[in-house]
Amino acid sequence: MKNNFYKGWIIAFILTLNLFLSANPVEAQSYRVESITMPEGLSSETGAIDFLPDGRLVACFLRGEVMIYTPGTKTWKLFAEGLHEPLGISIVSDSEFLVVQRPELTRIKDTDGDGQADLYETLSDDFGISGNYHEYNYGPLKDDKGNLFLGFNTASSRGQIMKEVRGKKDSLGLAHASQMFSPVAYRGWIMKLTPDGKLQPYASGLRSPNGLGFDLKGNLFAADNQGDWVGTTPLYHIKEGRFYGHPASLVWKKDWNSGDPFKLPVQQLDSMRTRASVLFPHNIMANSLTQPVADHTQGKFGPFSGQLFAGEMNQGRILRIMLEEVKGELQGACIPFIDQQGLRKGNNRLAFAPDGSLWVGQAEHGWAGDKGIQRIIFTGKQPADIDSMNLTLTGFDLTFTQPMDAGIADAGNYSFRHYYYEYHKTYGSDQFDVQSVQIKNIKVSQDKRKVSISLANLKPGYIYELKLNNIRSVSGEPLANSMICYTLNNLKN
Amino acid sequence: MAGSKNEPVIAVTINAVAGLRYDLPRFKVKPGAQVKLTFTNQDDMSHNLVFTKPGAREEIVNTALNLGDQGPAMNFIPESDKVLWSIAILSPGETKTITFTVPDSVGIFPYVCTYPGHGFVMYGAMYVTNDAMPPIQNDLNISELSRSEEKSKIAGNTVEAASNKHVHASTASQMQHPYKPVAPYLYRVFIDDASPAAIAVNLPHQISYCWDAGSCRLRYAWEGEFLDNTDFWKGHKDGNAKILGQIFYRDKTEFPLRIGDFEHIPVVRFKGYKLIDRYPEFHYFLNKTEIFEMLKPKEDGTGLIRTFTIAGSGEDVWFTFDSDDGVEYTTLKGKQIKGRIKLSSGKTHPFSVIMTKKKDLKL
C-alpha cells in the first residue's frame, strides 16, 4: 500500500517533469491560441464573426451558412443557409442578424422561434453588381446613430462582367488592362445606409476594402489591399467626402465630368487623395490586411486597451495598430502581434468575445489563407513589448509595457531606416529612397518604460522602420517584437 | 550534360493563373535535355518560379518564408544549393524566359512559387525520365488543387457519361455543408441567363428553378439534378453554378407581370423572401403594387404551380407568357386571351398559374 503510494508520486513527478521539459523552456507566453473544432461537412471559410451578449458566436461561411457556436458545450447549430458570400454581420438580437452578401444587405430573422431563420428581408440593394468575381461587399458596421457602413470592392480586370448586370453600367474603366475597375455603382466606395433606408455615397478611392472597423472614439477605418494604385497595404481613416487614391470609383462621383479617371495626371490624383493613416510594408508587416477591431476589453486582453488589431491573410499573425492625431489627422505605427504562436494564416475576420478573448475566422477563397476559427487568450502574463510609438518634434517616443533593462539607453540597440512606396498605376511598389537614419540622442525616462529618440531627420511621406536588438525587460524577458513601422504623414511642428 | 548537344531544345510554357496555381501541373523531359522555359504571370498578384532539387520544395519554401525583410530584395529566392533554376518575381502581365540543362540522372524536380503564403499550394513537378509519368490524379508531386481538378475532370466525364444513359449523377459523393440539403432549398448564385442577383431553388420531384431577384421574375426551370457549385465556390475567379439537368421552361416575355397599363413594364423592387415550410415566398413591388410569389412543384412532377398574392392597388394585373416558353398554362381564375391572363383588379387573395411542361421539349 505504502509502496504504491510512493510509486504514484514518482510517476506524477516524472509526468510533471516531462511537462516542464516539453513546454517552452524560457517562460510561459502572454497569449495562447486555441483552435475551435468546426462542424463536420462545413467548408469553414469564414466570412464574418460576431458575438451575442451571452457569449455565443455567430459566424458566416462562404458557402452561405450562418451558424451559432456555444463555447460552453462546444456545439454548432445552423441558423441560416443559401447566402452568396456573406462577408459581414451586425447582430440585432439572438434571432435577428444583418448580413451583407453579394446581392443585398439582408435582415435574417427567425420569426417562429424554431432557431432557424425564415425571413430574409432586403435592407438595401441600391448598389450595382456586375457578376465579376472580385466585387465583394463588406460591412455592415453600425455607428451610434444607427447608420450602417458598407464597403464595395472594385471589379478585377482578370474577370468579366455578365451580359446582364444589376444597376447602371459604366464603361469608362473597362478599357484599362490590369486595372481594377468600377463597372457598376458604387464599386470602390464606402457607403452609408441611413436609418430611413437611404444608401448614400460616403467616401471613394478604395480598391479592396476587406475590413471595416471603428476605434473606441467612433472613427471609421477601412483596410485596403496592395495592388494597382496601392503601393503597400494601407489602413485608411475614412471621412465623408474623401478620396483614398484608387481612381476607378470616381466615375460614380456626383457630377463627375473629368472623363476617364485613369487618364488624369498622377499628380492631380495624388493631390486629391487622403493618405493612409498607417502603411504596412509589404511582406515585412502584412500583404493583405483585413478587419480592424478595437480592443474594448479594458485589460481582459492584456495591456493594449483602445488599440486596433487587424488580421493578415498571408502570414500567421495579427497586426497591432497604434494611432495618434498630428495636425488634425490620425497617423501611427504598426507592429506584429503573436507571430509564430500557432495562429494560422488567412485571418479574415476578428471579434472580441465578452470574456475578452480575440476570435479569428480564417478564409482563403483562392488566395493565400486557411480555414477555420481560432481564439487568442491573454494568459495574464504581461508581455514585454512596445506599447506605443509617438512622434515628437525631433524623433519618436517609445513606451514599453513594462520597465526595461539598461539596454534601452544604448543607441546601438536601435536601427532606423526610412523609405516610401510610390503612388502609381502599376501593381504594388518597390521601396524607394531606402536609407538608414542616424540616431542623435536617446533619453530614458525615470521609470525605464519610455525612451525618447532624436533622429537626424524626419521626412513627411516616409515610413520610419525601427528594429530593436538586445532589449529586455528588467526581469530579463526579451521583447515580443523586434520591429515597428511608423507612417509619418505629418510633422508635429 | 553530354546528352544535351544533339538534342533539340524543349520549349515549355508555364503560366501563373488565378487561384494560386501554375496552369501546367507537371511536365516530362528526358535526362540531359535542354529546356527553354517561358514563364508568364497571368494572375493579378506577384509570383516567382523556383526549381529545387528533388524533395527540397518544402525546405526552400520555409527558408523563403524566414527571409523576413530581406525577402523582397531577394525575390524570396533563398541562397541555397538546393535551388537549381529560378525566375525572379514577375508582376501581373510580365513574361520571362530562361534556358537550362536538366541533369543526366532521372528525378522529380519540384517547381514552386516561394512568394510568402503561396508555396504550400502553388507548385508542380518536372519529371526527368525516359518513362511515363504516374497517373496524374494520384501524383503527390503536384499540388492538391491540381490533383483534385484532374480528379473532378475525370469524375465530370463519368457524370456526363452517366447522365447520357439517364442515370442520375451521384450527388452523395461528398458533403458540401454541415447538413444534408433536402428539397426545397436554395442558393443565392451566379448562374447563366440571369442577373447576378439570382436565386436557384431545388424543389421536390427533381424540379428546380431560377428566380431572379435583380429583375423580380422567374427566369427558367429545369428537371433533373440541381447544381454543381464547384466553380462558383472556388473563389478568386469568375465562376457560375452549373445546372445539372434539362431546362423545360424559359420566360421569353419582356416582363411577365403588368400593372394597370398592359403596355407598361413595371419598375421592380425586391424585398426578400420568407420560407414557408422551407419553400421561399418572394416579396417584391411592381411600381407600387406589392406582390408575393410562391412556386411549388405539381404533385405529379410535371411542372410548377405558381401562386401570386397581390396586395391591392386596385389596378388590373396581367400575367403574360410566350407560347414557345415550353409549358402549357392553366389557371383557376382569370381569363386567358392570346398569351395573357387578366386577373380581376383589387383582389388580395391568391391566384395560381399552373405551368405544365410540354413533352420532350428542349429549350
Q: CA angle A194-A200-A202, nearest 5°?
A: 105
> Is the pLDDT confidence value at B134 over 70?
yes
**pLDDT given at position A161:** 93
Cis peptide upstream of residue A186 (ω within 30 degrees of 0): yes
Strand order in the sheet with A431-437: A289-294, A308-312, A318-326, A329-337, A483-488, A462-468, A414-421, A431-437
Q: Which residue has the higher pLDDT, B357 or A24?
A: B357
B349 and B233 both lie in a single domain = yes
* Contacts of residue B74, Cβ cutoff 8 Å, sequence gap at least 6: B67
Strand order in the sheet with A347-352: A31-35, A372-378, A358-362, A347-352
Q: What band does B174 get if pLDDT is binned at 50, 70 and 90?
A: low
In a mutational test of the B interface, the residue from A111, A158, A210 whose CB has the highest number of chain B CBs within 10 Å is A158
Per CB-CB distance under 8 Å, the chain A contacts of B194 are: 164
Across A86-115, average pLDDT: 98
Per CB-CB distance under 8 Å, the chain B contacts of A42 are: 177-178
CA distance B340 to chain A (A): 26
Pairing of strands B327-331, A88-93: unpaired
B134 and B52 both lie in a single domain = yes
Question: Does residue B118 form part of some domain?
Answer: yes
User: What is the rounded distance in angstroms from the CA atom of residue A181 to the CA atom of residue A84?
Assistant: 22
B226 and B143 both lie in a single domain = no
CA distance B70 to chain A (A): 9
**pLDDT given at position A25:** 40
B208 and B133 both lie in a single domain = no
User: What is the rounded distance in angstroms from the CA atom of residue A466 to the CA atom of residue A95?
Assistant: 48
Question: Does residue B215 form part of some domain?
Answer: yes
Pairing of strands A105-109, A96-100: antiparallel
CA distance B6 to chain A (A): 42
- For residue B307, which of B333, B337, B340, B325 has the smallest C-alpha distance? B333
**pLDDT given at position A268:** 97
Report the number of distinct structural domains present in chain B.
2
> Is the pLDDT confidence value at B151 over 80?
no
Per-residue burial over B59-76, b = 16 or more CB atoms within 10 Å of its CB, e = otherwise: ebbebbbebeeebbeebb
Question: Does residue B337 form part of some domain?
Answer: yes
Last residue within a domain, chosen from B133, B150, B167: B150
- Which of A43-52, B62-71, B350-359 comes out lowest in average pLDDT? B62-71
pTM here is: 0.82
If contacts are CB pairs under 8 Å, which of residues 241-280 in chain A contact chain B? none
> Is the pLDDT confidence value at A7 over 50?
no
* Contacts of residue A152, Cβ cutoff 8 Å, sequence gap at least 6: A127, A135, A137, A138, A186, A187, A188, A189, A190, A191, A206, A209
Per CB-CB distance under 8 Å, the chain A contacts of B213 are: 103-104, 122, 125
**pLDDT given at position B149:** 76
**pLDDT given at position B356:** 95
Domain CATH number, residue B13: 2.60.40.420
Across B82-94, average pLDDT: 92
**Quick check: A366 and B20 CB within 8 A?**
yes
User: What is the rounded distance in angstroms from the CA atom of residue A21 to the CA atom of residue B58?
Assistant: 28
Instruction: Tally C-beta pairs within 8 A across A and B.
Output: 173
**pLDDT given at position B72:** 84
Question: Does residue B160 form part of some domain?
Answer: no
Q: Which residue has the higher pLDDT, B346 or A253?
A: A253
- For residue B225, which of B240, B208, B209, B200 has the smallest C-alpha distance? B208
Please name each of the domains of chain A with its CATH number: 386-488 (2.60.40.1220)
Last residue within a domain, chosen from B98, B125, B150: B150
User: What is the rounded distance in angstroms from the CA atom of residue A468 to the CA atom of residue A451?
Assistant: 12
* Contacts of residue B152, Cβ cutoff 8 Å, sequence gap at least 6: B230
**Quick check: B185 and A82 CB within 8 A?**
yes
Question: Does residue B195 form part of some domain?
Answer: yes
- Report pLDDT digits (tens) over A256-298: 999 999 999 999 999 999 999 999 999 999 999 999 999 999 9
User: What is the rounded distance in angstroms from the CA atom of residue A441 to the CA atom of residue B133?
Assistant: 65
**Quick check: A76 and B178 CB within 8 A?**
yes
> Is the pLDDT confidence value at B164 over 50?
no
Across A158-163, average pLDDT: 92
> Is the pLDDT confidence value at A95 over 70?
yes
* Contacts of residue A331, Cβ cutoff 8 Å, sequence gap at least 6: A277, A278, A323, A324, A391, A486, A487, A488, A489, A490
Q: Which three cell numbers stand for residue A472?
A: 529586455
> Is the pLDDT confidence value at B172 over 90?
no
> Is the pLDDT confidence value at A12 over 50?
no
Q: Which three cell numbers stand for residue A394?
A: 525631433
Q: What is the mean pLDDT of chain A?
A: 93
B143 and B216 both lie in a single domain = no
In a mutational test of the A interface, the residue from B23, B45, B199, B251 whose CB has the highest number of chain A CBs within 10 Å is B45
**pLDDT given at position B311:** 83
B305 and B202 both lie in a single domain = yes
Q: Which three cell numbers stand for residue A141?
A: 458596421
Residue B302, helix vs strand vs coil: coil
B71 and B214 both lie in a single domain = no
Say which of A125, A345, A427 has its CB closest to residue B270: A125
Q: Which three cell numbers stand for residue B61?
A: 519554401
> Is the pLDDT confidence value at B348 over 60?
no
Last residue within a domain, chosen from B90, B125, B150: B150
**pLDDT given at position B2:** 43
> Is the pLDDT confidence value at B159 over 70?
no
In a mutational test of the B interface, the residue from A176, A283, A427, A464 whose CB has the highest number of chain B CBs within 10 Å is A283
Domain span at residue B295? 185-357
> Is the pLDDT confidence value at B153 over 50?
yes
**pLDDT given at position A18:** 42
Q: Which residue in chain A is spatially nearest to B42 when comparing CA positions?
A: A158
> Is the pLDDT confidence value at A171 over 80?
no
Q: What band does B168 get if pLDDT is binned at 50, 70 and 90?
A: very low
**What number of CA atoms fall less than 13 Å from residue A146's CA on the CB side?**
5
CA distance B283 to chain A (A): 9
- Report pLDDT digits (tens) over B233-291: 999 899 999 999 999 999 999 999 998 888 899 999 999 999 999 999 999 999 999 99
**pLDDT given at position B347:** 54
B124 and B210 both lie in a single domain = no
- Which of A481-485, B222-226, B343-347 comes out lowest in average pLDDT? B343-347
Question: Does residue B125 form part of some domain?
Answer: yes
**Measured between CB atoms, does A364 come within 8 Å of chain B?**
yes
Around Cβ A40, how many Cβ atoms within 10 Å?
8
B41 and B115 both lie in a single domain = yes
Per CB-CB distance under 8 Å, the chain A contacts of B181 are: 81
Pairing of strands B123-128, B26-29: parallel
**pLDDT given at position B165:** 36
User: What is the rounded distance in angstroms from the CA atom of residue A234 to the CA atom of residue A273?
Assistant: 13
Q: Which residue has the higher pLDDT, B137 or A51?
A: A51
- Which of A354-358, A397-401, B55-59 comes out lowest in average pLDDT? B55-59
Q: Which residue in chain B is spatially nearest to A130 when comparing CA positions?
A: B196
Pairing of strands B34-41, B10-17: parallel
CA distance B335 to chain A (A): 33
Which region holds residue A153: left if phi is over 0, alpha if psi is between -120 and 50, else beta?
beta
B192 and B323 both lie in a single domain = yes
Chain centroid to Cα B96, Å, comes to 31
> Is the pLDDT confidence value at A13 over 50?
no
Question: Does residue B159 form part of some domain?
Answer: no
B121 and B207 both lie in a single domain = no
B126 and B205 both lie in a single domain = no
Indicate whether this complex's ipTM tops 0.90. Answer: yes
CA distance B279 to chain A (A): 10
Per-residue burial over B338-362, b = 16 or more CB atoms within 10 Å of its CB, e = otherwise: eebbbbeeebeeebbbbbbbbeeee
Percent of chain A's residues with pLDDT above 70: 94
> Is the pLDDT confidence value at A128 over 90?
yes
Say which of A84, A107, A283 has its CB closest to residue B116: A283
Question: Does residue B164 form part of some domain?
Answer: no
* Contacts of residue A317, Cβ cutoff 8 Å, sequence gap at least 6: A286, A336, A337, A338, A339, A340, A343, A347
